[in-house]
Amino acid sequence: MAFISSATIKEQGRTAYYKMLESARDGELIQVRRGVYASIDQLSGNMIDIDAIVPDGILCLWSAWSIYGLTTSMPQAFHIAIKRDRKVTSQSFPKIELHSYTESVLKVGVTEMTMEGFTFHIYDIERCVCDAVKFRNKVGMDVCSEIINNYLERPDRNITKLMDYARQLRVANILEKYLQVKL
């Protein structure tokens, strides 16, 4: 179920709009950003309406690794990829970490997923593995190794696609060394 937008409610009339504002004052709805509201039930799950909070955002890194079961670490925030020169206002809840990418890198490996009633964009599993290799010094070698090992254990792995993404993201040489050791 999508978050409530004040623009959508206004189309239903003033009465519906004032009811929504009253619900927000009573604590039944929580403002997640200007003009976007969510119920407590929507915010209590493991997923949020990412497109309502960061339009055209793509779930990435820790959040995506967790969804695919590539790491046992739980993300402390929703990690969302955006276009490099884009300005996004952040809010206090839910916690979001933005990661900026150039247009060409941003679009590599984007897929759509539905979880807990929310449809959102997320990087596919091969792109996630490449990101782990790319950011191995920031996330730690142990996390990077765990992600690669868990990926290689999957029956649906696609090494050809993985290496294609690795070339596009400029981590092919490093990933190749990892794969030679693991396979």
Whether 59 and 105 share a structural domain: yes
Q: Which residue range forms the structural domain that includes residue 9?
A: 4-44
Is the Cβ–Cβ distance between 64 and 115 less than 8 Å?
Answer: no
Residue 100 above 90 pLDDT? yes
Q: How far is CA 92 from CA 38, 55, 107, 127, in A?
A: 14, 17, 27, 29
User: Which of these ranges, 4-18, 29-43, 71-85, has the smallest mean pLDDT?
Assistant: 29-43
Whether 72 and 134 share a structural domain: yes
Whether 62 and 120 share a structural domain: yes
Banded model confidence at residue 44, pLDDT cuts 50, 70, 90 = low
Number of folded domains in the chain?
Answer: 2
- Tens of pLDDT along 102-123? 999 999 999 999 988 888 999 9
Q: Residue 134 region, left (φ>0) first, then alpha (ψ -120 to 50), else beta?
A: alpha
- HEC string for 146-182: HHHHHHHHCCCCCHHHHHHHHHHCCCHHHHHHHHHHH
Give the model's pLDDT for residue 83.
93
Give the model's pLDDT for residue 87.
79
